[in-house]
Structure 1
Amino acid sequence: MFLGKIIFHIDINAFFASAETLRDPSLKNKPIAVCSNKRGSVVTTANYIAREFGVRSAMPLVEALKLCPQLVVTGVHFDLYEKISAQFVELCKKYTEIVEVASVDECYLDVTQVIKQYKRPLDLAMVIRKDIKKNIGLDVSIGIAPNRFLAKMASDMKKPNGMTVLRQKEVQSKLWPLPIERMHGIGVKSAELLKNAGIYTIGDLAVCKSNHVLFVFKKNAELFIRRANGEDDSELDIDSMVKSLSQSTTLMNATSDYDEITIVIEQLCRELQQRCIDEGVLAQQVTITVKDEMFQSYSRTMKLPAATNSHQEFFENALLLFDANFSEVTVKLLGVGCSHFIFRDIISEQLKLF
């Protein structure tokens, strides 16, 4: 039994590839690789059947096909992924109001206040898992723990379609033996640096002194050591997902010079593209904001033809909005924003390869 908080981490198994089987049921039980371009050279993600052949994310498609000649390659379908993700989040919110959307396919739930309705945390997890399977059609893995970090680690222990309880008293037996690269928050480069320093497992990190790993984690050294010991007092962030992004600038002198205005809008769109890349989002809507010489503010918004993080797409559509609405305005401030995001960390990174 948990005496304190109870946190669930729910992760949709092989989300993009699994979503493709909902779109096309004939793909069920077949090895699938999703690529941002069917003729693209890199695998964005693969389902578990394909992974059994050694197919992995970021693998060259040519290599993946050698490992698995029967591999079915699909393109990406953003609208489908967004729809399923929204259904997933709303379903999680049926069980508690404290939900942190960590990414398009994973949520943290604080179920501390609702768990009394169930005999065990596992019983609630089973209800949620069955609900997701019935109403969305996808399998999930659920980690159950007294804090956010342990819940994330637990959900990764049994995939696909598993449920794992990880108690504080089990940290030494279940967490410490894991290789250091399995620790959430530690990337490939950090793992290599730690191994070079003689830290091969999570347990090795848990018992080392913070000054021994300052060269890797800098000011966060103590934080990672605490987490390796199963300690994490961070609260769930229910407003974690950014809703909109914008860039603006105030001109030195108010102007109606179209060429100057065009240059400024294009630069703002380039800056906006970088922010979208940093946040791992694709936008479906663009907004232009104008303040005139009296600092009266006006905004216009339009839906984009497709989700994007391209500065050229932002620029062309923002300019259309400006031409249609503000071509006669003497401009003192210009702003360009985007919203209605699809959160695509994985796909966004792959798109940048093409």
Structure 2
Amino acid sequence: MTELEPSPQDRPRKIIHVDMDAFYASVEQRDNPELRGKPVAVGGSEARGVVAAASYEARKFGVHSAMPSVTARRKCPDLIFVRPRFDVYKSISLQIRAIFAEYTTLIEPLSLDEAYLDVTDNLKGMKIATDIALEIRAKIKEATGLNASAGISYNKFLAKMASDLNKPNGQAVITPRNGPTFVEALPVKKFHGVGPATAEKMHRLGIETGADLKARSLDFLIDNFGKSGPYFYGIARGIDERQVKPDRVRKSVGAEDTFREDIFAYDLAREGIQPLIEKVWRYCDANGITAKTVTLKVKYSDFNQITRSRTVATSFSSISEIEDAVELLLGAIFPTTKGIRLLGVTLSSLDKCHGLEHSQLALFF
């Protein structure tokens, strides 16, 4: 190494975030020509069903994933509901995962339709990450007929943000030079990792943009956001030191939602929590993970919070088993005199499924 060459520790990382475009819906439109160009929602059309994915034609009407099916139908009367075919989606994911593996061993799956890749030192010796992303997207299109978008940057946070900039079927790069400026202009509600409840709290504190977040001290952020404070302090400056971790094992997987109006009735709470159940189940099913514990989180209008858990001897094997457990936990807190402003569902005591089928699932993204 000459004096002019940076050490490996000093080199900016090259991270790619690949995100399939409307993955489930695009697969259905690919396989059924009659659906092409029409608003499509993958998911149940029953009263308790939710949208798992929406085509771009449906999104123009405001339909999006995790939306109750009855709401989606109201927004788009011509919406076509299609039952999900997870075996097909997983098979396609194997194809995509194989393409990633041609370029790097550092692949971190996030779900069926997205993953991080660290291509700093890639298997093909390519120097420009944008070229790698172009090749990967072209190979995905050739192998599957589907479009993928990509974000390229020097850390995971900015790569994730970049992948949304030119969707669908596009890519964008955020360089070390323009990363901090990009973050300063970004509304905090669009930050990956800042959910609706956190964004609402930031707004109450006068934090609307990345520049506002950057102006707050580390102590202030820790006092108000706890262990997330250092993360927010870093990303406000375009800094994210998290590594791309292949085959990461999570301790838990959860989802929560803050409601626009407080909930007092069980039926409304049950309807509101269904999308959360489906979200955590999809993650486990896609990644071949089982869970033995389900936890219900309830935050009331006075900001008091409770959790209730149920643990089973053998792992939950279907979404209906999780629904039954959540219904027992939820029913126990009714009737209530205090309005419910937030509900959450978390699965824990996670473990990889055993057997050939689930050893393959670990490769999906």
| Superposed displacement of residue 69, structure 1 | 2.1
Deviation of 1:3 after TM superposition, in Å, equals 4.6
Q: How does 1:94-105 map to 2 (within 5 A)?
A: 94-105=102-113
Q: 1:114: how far off? A: 2.9
What does residue 164 of structure 2 align with?
156
Q: Distance in 2 between matches of 1:72 and 1:282?
A: 25
1-structure distance, mates of 2:104, 2:192: 24
Shift of 1:179: 1.0
In 1, Cα distance between the equivalents of 2:23 and 2:186?
A: 25
Residues 251-281 of structure 1, C-alpha deviations (whole Å, 9 max, x = no match): xxxxxxxxxxxxxxxxxxxxxxx9x958941
Match of 1:229 in 2: 237
Rounded Cα–Cα distance in structure 1 between residues aligned with 2:119 and 2:190: 26
**Following TM superposition, by how much is the alpha carbon of 1:139 offset from its aligned partner in structure 2, in angstroms?**
1.0
Structure 2, gaps ≥5 residues long: 1-9, 252-276, 291-315, 325-349
Distance 1:39 1:174, change over 3 A: same
Distance in 1 between residues matched to 2:222 and 2:289, nearest whole Å: 42
Offset, 1:239: 1.7
SS of the residue 1:185 aligns to: coil
Displacement of 1:142:
0.6
Compute the RMSD of aligned alpha carbons.
3.7
| 3-state SS, counterpart of residue 151 of structure 2 | strand
Asked if the contact 1:34–1:76 (Cα under 8 Å) also holds between the matched residues in 2, the reply is yes
1:210 aligns with 2:218: yes
1:310 pairs with one of 314, 321, 326: 321
Residue 143 (1) aligns with residue 151 (2): yes
Q: Cα deviations across residues 4-60 of structure 1 (Å, max 9, x unaligned)?
A: 211111011111211222332321211111124556443232111111111122333
In structure 2, distance between residues paired with 1:311 and 1:214 = 34
Equivalent positions of 1:254-269 (< 5 A) are: none
* Structure-to-structure mapping, 1:327-338, within 5 angstroms: none
Q: Given the two structures, how large is their TM-score scaled by the length of structure 1?
A: 0.68
Which residue type is aligned with residue 89 of structure 1?
R
Distance 2:247 2:133 in 1: 23
Residue 11 of structure 1 corresponds to: 19
User: Could you say which residue in structure 1 is the equivalent of 2:262?
Assistant: none
Cα 1:193–1:39, aligned 2, differ >3 Å: closer, same or farther? closer
Equivalent of residue 206 in structure 2, options 198, 211, 227: 198
CA distance in 2, matches of 1:90, 1:225: 36
Partner of 1:317: none
> 1:281 is matched with which residue: 281, 284, 297?
284
Q: Secondary structure at the match of 2:178?
A: helix
Q: Is the 8 A contact 2:102 2:123 kept in 1?
A: no
User: 2:45 touches 2:81 (CA, 8 Å); kept in 1?
Assistant: no
- Residue number among 171, 180, 190 corresponding to 1:182 in the alignment: 190
Q: Is the 8 A contact 2:103 2:124 kept in 1?
A: no
Task: State the Cα distance separating 1:241 from its structure 2 match.
Answer: 5.0
CA contact (8 A) 2:214 2:237 kept: yes
Q: Does the alignment pair 1:77 with 2:88? A: no
Q: Which whole-Å CA distance do the structure 2 matches of 1:216 and 1:162 have between them?
A: 37
Amino acid at match of 1:74: V
Quote the Cα distance in structure 2 between the aligned partners of 1:176 and 1:312. Answer: 41
**Aligned pairs, number:** 277
**1:126–1:49: structure 2 CA closer, same or farther, 3 Å change rule?**
same
* Conserved 8 A contact 2:44-2:81: no
Q: Is the 8 A contact 2:150 2:171 kept in 1?
A: yes
Q: Pick the aligned partner of 1:107 from 104, 115, 127.
A: 115
Mean CA deviation greater in 172-181 or 193-202: 172-181
Change (3 A) 1:207 1:62: same
The structural deviation recorded for 1:87 is: 1.7
Pair 97,77 (structure 1): closer, same or farther in 2 beyond 3 Å: same
CA contact (8 A) 1:101 1:241 kept: no
What is the SS of the residue equivalent to 1:219?
helix
Tell whether the 8 Å contact from 1:38 to 1:75 is kept in structure 2 after alignment: no
Q: Is the 8 A contact 1:12 1:140 kept in 2?
A: yes
Cα distance in 2, alignment partners of residues 3 and 172 from structure 1: 17
Asked if 1:29 is matched to 2:32, the reply is no
Deviation at 1:105, TM superposition (A): 1.1
- Tell me, what secondary structure is at the counterpart of 1:69? coil
Structure 1, unpaired ranges of 5+: 244-273, 287-303, 314-335, 344-354
Matched-pair contact (CA < 8 Å) for 1:277–1:309: no
Deviations 1:149-197 (A, max 9, x none): 2111111222111111101221243222111011111110000000000
One-letter code aligned to 1:143: G
